[in-house]
């Protein structure tokens, strides 16, 4: 076998493994929504994608690792959404865009909804919490910039981050698509409440 062929097939293997893992994450999201985070099992996910426990184990080693992949999926979706808007403005506009886009993703993407449940659960496993921490640090940098620029008032950044994320992640618990306000109107109002609360008094 020539070197090129070996490299090509290795690359193809990696790609196939990734796309298989994406499918597993999507199947897991269905299982998590049907059975709940606590009751869901790797076996049930394996059945959904037609893999034995041993074969599934090649792609994912624990339920917690699977939840971690769910969170990562949402972090990526948020990154893509924000890449289109974040350069547009100062800290106030960036925070507003962050909040609005977060609400949209967790209310419209089934993966996002499970990810919000994970964040609001008491799950402490490091493989799940790590991507959440990364996500929080993105929010922290927006807040820090805003405080430094005098746009936001001087506040405890950790408390502000957690309060913002909790408010956003709870939206799917009470938002109804049949309600008086559309998702975008709700997202705008929630973002407004959060952002206005942080603005420095002028």
Does position 77 bind its own copies by CB under 8 A?
Answer: no
Total residues in contact with its own copies, by rule CB under 8 A: 32
59 versus 152: smaller Cβ distance to its own copies: 152
Q: Does 133 bind its own copies (CB under 8 A)?
A: no
Residues sharing a CB contact under 8 Å with residue 62, sequence separation 6 or more, in sequence order: 42, 127
CB of 94 to its own copies, least distance (A): 18
Q: Tell me if 130 contacts its own copies by CB under 8 A.
A: no
Q: Does 14 bind its own copies (CB under 8 A)?
A: no
DSSP conformation class of 37 = T
* Min dist. Cβ of residue 47 to its own copies (A): 20
Q: Among the candidate windows 9-17, 37-45, 71-79, 102-110, which touches its own copies by CB under 8 A? A: 37-45
Q: Nearest 5°: CA angle at 55, between 53 and 59?
A: 105
Judged by beta carbon, residue 72 or residue 194, the one nearer its own copies is 194
DSSP letter for 86, please: G
39 backbone dihedrals φ, ψ, rounded to 5°: -85, -20
Residue 156 touching its own copies (CB under 8 A): yes
Q: Which of 113, 127, 108 is nearest to 28 (CA)?
A: 113
Overall size of the chain counted in residues: 202
198 binds its own copies (CB under 8 A): yes
Question: Which has the closest alpha carbon to 98: 81, 113, 117, 74?
Answer: 81
Nearest residue to 197 (alpha-carbon basis) of 160, 165, 172: 160
Per CB under 8 A, residues contacting its own copies are 36-39, 117, 120-122, 155-156, 158-160, 162-163, 165-167, 169-171, 173-174, 181, 186, 189-190, 193-194, 196-198
């Amino acid at each position: 076998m020539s070197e090129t062929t070996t490299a090509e097939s290795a690359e193809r293997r990696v790609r196939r493994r990734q796309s298989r893992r994406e499918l597993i994450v999507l199947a897991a999201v269905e299982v998590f929504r049907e059975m709940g985070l606590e009751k869901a099992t790797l076996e049930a996910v394996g059945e959904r994608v037609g893999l034995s426990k041993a074969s599934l184990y090649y792609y994912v080693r624990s339920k917690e690792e699977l939840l971690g992949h769910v969170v990562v999926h949402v972090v990526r979706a948020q990154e893509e959404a924000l890449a289109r808007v974040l350069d547009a403005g100062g800290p106030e506009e960036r925070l507003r865009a962050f909040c609005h886009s977060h609400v949209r993703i967790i209310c419209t993407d089934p993966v996002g909804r499970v990810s919000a449940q994970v964040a609001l659960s008491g799950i402490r496993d490091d493989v799940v919490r790590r991507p959440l921490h990364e996500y929080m640090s993105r929010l922290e940098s927006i807040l820090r910039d805003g405080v430094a620029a005098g746009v936001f008032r001087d506040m405890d950044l950790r408390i502000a981050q957690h309060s913002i994320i909790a408010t956003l992640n709870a939206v799917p618990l009470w938002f109804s698509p049949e309600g008086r306000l559309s998702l975008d109107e709700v997202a705008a109002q929630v973002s407004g409440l959060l952002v206005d609360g942080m603005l420095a008094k002028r």
